[in-house]
Amino acid sequence: MILMYIFETYLDIRQHRALKLPTLPKPLLGVISDEKFKRSRDYSLDKSYFHFVHEAVTILMDTTILYYKVLPWFWKKSGEVVTNVGLNAENEIIHTLAFLAGAMVWSQITDLPFSLYSTFVIEARHGFNKQTIWLFIRDMVKGILLSMILGPPIVAAIIYIVQIGGPYLAIYLWGFMFVLALLMMTIYPIIIAPLFNTFTPLPEGVLREEIEKLAASLKFPLKKLFVVDGSTRSSHSNAYMYGFFKNKRIVLYDTLIQQCSNEDEIVSVIAHELGHWKLNHTVYSFVAVQLLMFLQFGGYTLVRNSKDLFESFGFEDQPIIIGLIIFQHTIIPLQHLLSFCLNLVSRAFEFQADAFAKNLGYAPQLRVALVKLQEENLSAMNTDPWYSAYHYSHPPLVERLQALEDPDSKKED
């Protein structure tokens, strides 16, 4: 953990130096206004300073928790609480839920100052935050209630599967998480997301007609087209699609519509998103995540009964949830390496989706839209190549514009 922190802090320092550069990258000179560049630079530096503090506090807390064996102490105390309220602490599911409830309270307390500062100081200072403190609290309470509703049955199922899994445990765990992922992908946009935002059908007009025309030309089974009130919380913009098989939906943030000056720019962004669908990027990414999850569960089955592993973290017994937590800690370097590889693939997918939109004739509009989104979101204009290679799932704006302008760029069928 400490070695990873040192390595990633080195990358953060490189990025911070890049952010402090007083001039735009040459390809963006004359493309991005000086006023937007200054605002972007100030915003990025504010976030960078905040990130240094947040990461330092996080590694300090995590190291302290491990070094002073807080986890076994907290596990023991949660069992005592269960007993004191008249429940059976020998029931691992009940004991685990009490432990996780306490961990959630701790997480909320330690994360709250950072979340408040990020939202009401940094985001507000640069004109992005639109939330009131009451809306912030309401969202936080809703998130806690959702965790209380969805968490216990999921945790209970995982513990039960591990208890009965036997030699096929990895397959059973993966199967459960696979079904759960499909379920969450189904219910999240229909049930959970509307708890936090309002989704309204995109009004009739040129924009709706153009998007429906584009979807039909690509045989995209567009079922519904929504606008979400992202502006109630932030002025950042986005667009996404979801749904299975013949039941696809596209969602536009109202901020995206406000920031683009004409319909063609918005349609070019949708063309890029449809490129991901047409080129099966979503399917490939989902399959890759499922494969990695299966391998992760396979690794867990190899160490879940390791008495030495539990004892080295201060545990006398071998709780299932603790085994999962310990295993996650031990494979942190591998997880970061896999994340780096997935980012490489993701950036390649972004170039392919841009090329797809370009082949549909949207290159000029997409260039304008990308510049506007970069400006309006005050995204970093100068990026360190090592930092972006390690962290970014999307290529920097300079690289995307160069690819769109290259007449010899590879065409996607």
The catalytic residue positions are 273, 354
Return the sign of the alpha-carbon dihedral for residues 269, 274, 275, 280.
positive
276 is in an annotated binding site: yes
Classify residue 267 by burial, with Cβ atoms within 10 Å: 0-12, 13-18, 19+: buried
Whose CA is closest to 111, among 87, 77, 136? 136
Give backbone dihedrals phi and psi of 247, rounded to 5 degrees, phi first: -125, 60
272 is in an annotated binding site: yes
For residues 136 and 4, what is the distance between their CA atoms, to the nearest angstrom?
32
Q: What is the 3-state composition of the chain as percent helix, strand, coil, each rounded to the nearest 5?
A: 75, 5, 20
What DSSP string describes 218-258?
TT--EEEEEEE-GGGTBS---EEEE-STT-EEEEEEHHHHH
Give the SS3 label for residue 199.
Answer: strand
Binding residues: 272, 276, 350
Binding residues for Zn(2+): 272, 276, 350
